[in-house]
Amino acid sequence: MSIIPLTKEQINYLDDLIFEEGIYSYEELVKRIGGPRPPIRKAIRQLKGVVGFATCPQCKRDIVVTIFNRNQKFCCIEHKKKYFNTHRKKTKLTICKNCGKEFYQYSFRNNVYCSCSCAAEHREMVKREQKELKK
Ligand SMILES: [Zn+2]
Ligand SMILES: [Zn+2]
């Protein structure tokens, strides 16, 4: 089965949708143009200013990446928020330096105490020990 290319009008319309209206969602573009996907995808790739495609990590839908939205990784702000909210889980197992309790924290954190009170308690203890040593 050969791919029937888009007409010149369709290509111009596609160009307008992306560069005039700023529609980067591949699904939305397919809906606006109508018809089978392969020729639409091919035509998008060939547009001047189009870099390629990216996939939104949240909805797994494609986004058109152009020279104007090079760093766009999500199809919309909502999905970006959603993604970070669901993927920011406390996975780093740490043992509290004060009470010895195991606790989980975000992988990018480096807390050594399970709580503020433990941090304060430990600080007090160190102070006391230093005082004892001075005696
Ligand atoms: Zn998305
Ligand atoms: Zn603790």
Can you give the residue ranges of every domain in the chain?
Answer: 8-76, 87-134
- Phi and psi at 117, nearest 5°, equal -65, -35
Mean pLDDT of the chain: 92
67 Cα: distance to centroid of ligand 1 (angstroms): 20
103 CA from centroid of ligand 2 (Å): 8
| Ligand with smallest separation from the Cα of 102 | 2
Of 27, 70, 74, 21, the C-alpha closest to 50 is 70
Q: Which two tokens stand for residue 10?
A: 């369709």
Residue-wise pLDDT tens digits, 54-104: 999 999 999 999 999 999 999 989 999 898 888 777 888 999 999 999 999
Reported as type and span, the H/E element at residue 84 is helix 77-87
CA distance 109 to 6: 51
Report the 10 Å Cβ neighbour count for 36.
12
Distance separating the N- and C-terminal Cα atoms of the chain = 91
Q: Which ligand is nearest to the CA of 83?
A: 1
**pLDDT at position 1 over 60:** no
Lowest mean pLDDT among 7-11, 86-90, 127-131: 86-90
- 113: closest CA among 125, 101, 128? 101
With contact defined as beta carbons under 8 Å apart, do 96 and 113 qualify? yes
pTM for the full model?
0.63
